Amino acid sequence: MALDIILLGPPGAGKGTQATRLEAERGMVQLSTGDMLRAAVKAGSPVGLQAKAVMEAGELVSDEIVSSLIGERLDELGVDTPVIFDGYPRTAAQADALDALLKARGRHLDHVIELEVDEEALVTRITGRFTCANCGEGYHDQFKLPLVPGTCDRCGHHEFKRRPDDNAETVRTRMAEYRAKTAPILPIYEARGIVTRIDGMADMDSVHDAIEAVLAPA
Ligand code: AP5
Ligand code: MG
């Protein structure tokens, strides 16, 4: 059976950074509801129109919308494709929905990895974040600048973009949402004995190695 995991942690914890690396190195597929919603907003689809203002305010999009996006993506994947859930589930209702979605497809969760971080440091991480407008490679004003200024390391493109919700004020709302609605779902998975906590303040390679140590025996 495929290895399915959840990466859990507040905004800027490094979920996307680590998921991208696991995709490249392990052939896992990252299912990020944030990325799916941003694509929907960009496309101007009905889901995007509903989600845009909610995301810009840093609040949570409805459980029904995100769970149906995840269900659709799971249906496109074979049961043998290992999946990283990034930014989903974020509420108790989404955790229930994920259980049902997985069960219906003969899948199950192997690990929930929580990236433990210092929220104040995350504000710096998030407000400094930018990505290549062409390939999506992630950068940071302080921690990871392109090797050649103004040129993407991965694809050579020269345009970069920042997320509209990556400002200090919205970040505070996103963190409050995490504390109020997402952190409380951890005990559901703790009761199943599948939670591992990792120091998300360590450098990116160390976080990666710690995740590998969890996944390797699987
Ligand atoms: P989403 O896109 O999921 O955003 P988020 O949870 O706020 O998380 P981020 O993507 O900001 O952070 P990350 O943990 O991926 O960090 P990253 O690796 O980029 O959601 C956005 C919005 O969509 C939500 O607010 C909500 O409105 C909506 N939404 C999404 N899913 C939903 C759901 N399930 N239900 C309802 N609504 C939903 O790293 C951040 C920065 O730090 C980068 O610059 C990176 O280079 C740097 N960095 C990473 N790791 C390290 C490290 N170890 N050391 C130093 N720097 C690091
Ligand atoms: Mg992310």
pLDDT at 218 over 60: no
At 151 the pLDDT is 98
For 89-139, what is each residue's pLDDT tens digit?
999 999 999 999 999 999 999 999 999 999 888 999 999 999 999 999 999
Ligand 1-lining residues (CB < 6 angstroms): 9, 11-17, 33-34, 37, 54-55, 58-61, 66, 87-88, 90, 94, 125-126, 129, 138, 140, 143-144, 165, 174, 203-204, 207
Q: Atom 49 of ligand 1 has which residue's CA nearest to it?
A: 14
Joined together, the tokens standing for residue 113 give 């990895």
Predicted pLDDT at 1: 75
Which of 31, 37, 84 best tests ligand 1's pocket when mutated (most atoms within 8 Å of CB)?
37
Amino acid 94: pLDDT = 98
Give the atom of ligand 1 at the shortest distance from the alpha carbon of 207. 53
* Nearest Cα residue to atom 43 of ligand 1: 129
Instruction: Give dist(CA 189, CA 24) in Å, integer.
Output: 27
State the CB neighbour count (10 A cutoff) for residue 150: 10
**pLDDT over threshold 90, residue 182:** yes
Q: What is the mean pLDDT of residues 148-162?
A: 97
Q: What is the pLDDT of residue 217?
A: 63
Give the per-residue pLDDT at 119. Answer: 87
Cβ neighbours of residue 44 closer than 8 Å, sequence gap 6 or more: none
pLDDT at residue number 29: 97
120 vs 112: CA distance, rounded Å: 24
143 pLDDT higher than 90: no
Nearest bound ligand to the CA of residue 126: 1
Predicted confidence at residue 132, as pLDDT, reads 96
If one counts every other C-beta atom within 10 angstroms of the C-beta of residue 211, the result is 23
Give this prediction's pTM: 0.94
pLDDT attached to residue 60 = 98
Share of the chain above pLDDT 70, in %: 99
Ligand located closest to 37 CA: 1
What are φ and ψ of residue 147, in 5° steps?
A: -60, -45
